[in-house]
Structure 1
């Protein structure tokens, strides 16, 4: 395998040294630098070209997404792997959208660390197995919430169609032979399900979703 030039940026020097020591037996990986302040990254990366960067996602005063985008823009050949002690879906998605090629938990063992570095170097993405499981569960729960939220009853669909045709609540009540209070209750439920703020937003979202 080709030589992999590795950079490490972690707020805790012990972790940086530990990662370097863990990878030291693997002769095809060379740790070029280990930093504790993310602000030193751009100048150091300009001086020392690296293929893979292991980036601590909890360094002080760090905007994770902004930093990833900046590094990807200025050093497009470097593959970034975010490292974290947590497996929060929001953070994982933010980092990957910002251009990171991988996401590692700091509890990883030597095999996981080695696989992550080699995988992203080869142009693949690498996400810790525990994080993958969490993301799948989060996706499933999100779809489940959407299904519950988005399904309108037959009566709600009827009322939504009339609202889109600019019927007033009183006119809808008279047309469907129900009370004004019933119409208002349905209107409130529709607004909640479609996650809009008012009638204008409701009509716009209804057309967008093809509900009318």
Structure 2
């Protein structure tokens, strides 16, 4: 039997080791490689073909949604299963739009993970019932669509960091942008969301279930926004 060659990209060694055990204990799957940051996963993707990629959405060195697009540019046929701590409401639709073939949160059981891996590796798309509902809502895009769904991917990434108190300086550093550019994104998202200050933005995030705890690599500077 030819085993599915899986590349695992996650910045936490415990997660990579856990996935390695699960994959290597499964006859039709193989843990064939690993990467711990955005740069290394791109290098791995470019150096050889893989049957599929399991990708953490929050990787050091690259914005998650941007990383999906770069991977698909380098290897268009490569199926990507996002394996994330973020709840589906926050990133699933955007990840699928960017080119991912499935989205699974890290609150999973082993059987569900294996089912998702096999479906994505075979060329299918894995979505939970909740994600399917989100996709249906996104396609219909009602006139009263939540304002955050109208943000560009970059604006949304800035939004998720602003509501956690990360400074514009830190956001600019993370995305390799100028503070002026980040300030422009902030102004645009404030306008689109109809808020006038950061407190309104935080309140909106809480009310819409968009505020959860970020992984350590995104806690860059929790200082006041300049």
TM range (shorter): 0.5 to 0.7
Deviation at 1:59, TM superposition (A): 1.6
Question: Where does structure 1 lack aligned partners over 5 or more consecutive residues?
Answer: 147-194, 196-212
Cross-structure match for 1:4: 4
Equivalents in 2 of 1:61, 1:138: separation in Å?
Answer: 32
Provide the aligned length of Structure 1 versus Structure 2. 146
Question: Where does structure 2 lack aligned partners over 5 or more consecutive residues?
Answer: 146-191, 193-226
Deviation at 1:55, TM superposition (A): 0.5
Deviations 1:111-161 (A, max 9, x none): 11111111011111002345445x279669x74836xxxxxxxxxxxxxxx
Q: TM-score, normalised by structure 1?
A: 0.60
SS of alignment partner, residue 93 of structure 1 = helix
Deviation at 1:68, TM superposition (A): 0.9
Deviation at 1:94, TM superposition (A): 1.4
SS of alignment partner, residue 127 of structure 1 = coil
Q: TM-score, normalised by structure 2?
A: 0.57
* Distance 1:87-1:131 versus aligned 2 partners, 3 A rule: farther
Cross-structure match for 1:124: 124
Equivalents in 2 of 1:127, 1:83: separation in Å?
Answer: 12
* Distance 1:35-1:136 versus aligned 2 partners, 3 A rule: closer
Cross-structure match for 2:144: 145
> Larger relative CO (CA 8 A, sep 6+): 1 or 2?
2
SS of alignment partner, residue 53 of structure 1 = strand
Equivalents in 2 of 1:136, 1:96: separation in Å?
Answer: 9
The answer as to whether partners of 1:68 and 1:99 remain within 8 angstroms in 2 is yes
Cross-structure match for 2:85: 85
Cross-structure match for 1:20: 20
* Distance 1:130-1:13 versus aligned 2 partners, 3 A rule: farther
Q: How does 1:121-200 map to 2 (within 5 A)?
A: 121-132=121-132, 135=134, 143=142, 145=144
